[in-house]
């Protein structure tokens, strides 16, 4: 089993390009799991779902925080997917196991509906924009880019056309300390960015543009403050009641991925977090969602 874990860690390092801290977290989680199996004389290659659930219960009784239990489960799920894909195991007992439902103070994420409303406001503005420069196209592309990649405001400001890989639908971003990462970006964002590059950016470009992706009205790189102002313009136009910053879209990106079932470590890589504990702040459920679920499904709470 130790050899299988070593091969898996090598796979994550070589094939997935995970950072050293992420690899260490995976290994620590799996070592803890292996020790549990050895103590209870269980074989990982024919372990049952109930026995795997027993490990999660063991972690809970040992006092481990729900977020850490969720991270351990994420590590185990990834390992079993690897074992099945490589032919070392026939089944994946972790596939249908769900982790603890977590609630933490929200880091300010918008609901999916609010994000869509914000972006739709910018997209609609393009239809009524009669100016030659069509700045609304830039604004729409910018909002789609921020939400589509989870980029920091500085990463969006520093992005260049050369960082776009259209054929592979990938974007290169440079995070803190100029650490490079490659993130995918969805079709909606690509459509908006492509429209901006074809129609708007050529009219903005000038001697100071260099290769920067997002330009201001004078043809220079769009600054972080400029991005804030653009976002605030559409927040007000959308009549959103919440306080929204560029980082809010990054929070929303992570929260919506995890709510949809994305792997915690995958989201860590997409955000460019060096430490998995930074990503764990997103493992929460929105209070309104909890209330709506209770009201809809509890037999004594039919409204």
Q: What are phi and psi of 174, to 5 degrees?
A: -115, 110
178 counts as catalytic: no
Q: Which of 176, 194, 229, 295 is the catalytic position?
A: 176
247 counts as catalytic: yes
Distances (CA, A) of 179 to 70, 86, 131: 27, 31, 38
Q: Which of 134, 251, 273, 284 is the catalytic position?
A: 273
Q: Which of 82, 147, 196, 282 is the catalytic position?
A: 282
> Using CA atoms, how far apart are residues 167 and 89, in angstroms rounded to an integer?
35
176 counts as catalytic: yes
251 counts as catalytic: no
Q: Which of 247, 287, 294, 295 is the catalytic position?
A: 247
282 counts as catalytic: yes
Q: Which of 71, 77, 134, 152 is the catalytic position?
A: 152
250 counts as catalytic: yes
Q: Which of 71, 134, 250, 256 is the catalytic position?
A: 250
Distances (CA, A) of 265 to 19, 76, 171: 10, 11, 19
Q: Which residues are catalytic?
A: 152, 176, 247, 250, 273, 282
């Amino acid at each position: 089993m130790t050899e299988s874990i070593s091969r898996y860690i090598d796979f994550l390092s070589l094939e997935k390009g995970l950072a050293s801290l992420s690899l260490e977290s995976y290994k620590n989680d799996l070592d803890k799991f292996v020790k549990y199996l050895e103590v209870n004389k269980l074989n990982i290659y024919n372990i049952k779902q109930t026995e795997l659930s027993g490990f999660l219960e063991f972690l809970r009784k040992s006092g481990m925080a729900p977020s850490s239990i969720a991270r351990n489960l994420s590590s185990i799920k990834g390992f079993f997917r690897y074992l099945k894909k490589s032919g070392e195991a026939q089944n994946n007992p972790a596939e249908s196991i769900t982790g603890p439902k977590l609630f933490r103070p929200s880091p300010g994420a918008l609901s999916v509906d609010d994000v869509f409303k914000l972006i739709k406001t910018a997209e609609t503005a393009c239809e009524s924009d009669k100016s030659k420069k069509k700045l609304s196209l830039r604004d729409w592309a910018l909002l789609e880019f921020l939400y589509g990649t989870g980029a920091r405001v500085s990463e969006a400001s520093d992005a260049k056309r050369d960082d776009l890989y259209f054929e592979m639908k990938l974007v290169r971003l440079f995070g803190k300390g100029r650490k490079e990462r490659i993130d995918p970006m969805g079709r909606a964002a690509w459509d908006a960015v492509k429209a901006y590059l074809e129609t708007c950016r050529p009219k903005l470009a000038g001697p100071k543009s260099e290769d920067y992706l997002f330009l201001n009205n004078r043809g220079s790189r769009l600054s972080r403050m400029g991005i804030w102002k653009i976002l605030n313009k559409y927040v007000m136009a959308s009549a959103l009641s919440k306080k929204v910053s560029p980082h809010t879209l990054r929070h929303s990106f992570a929260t919506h991925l995890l709510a949809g079932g994305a792997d915690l470590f995958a989201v860590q890589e997409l955000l460019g977090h060096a430490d998995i504990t930074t990503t764990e702040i997103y493992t929460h459920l929105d209070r309104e969602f909890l209330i709506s679920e209770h009201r809809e499904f509890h037999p004594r709470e039919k409204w």
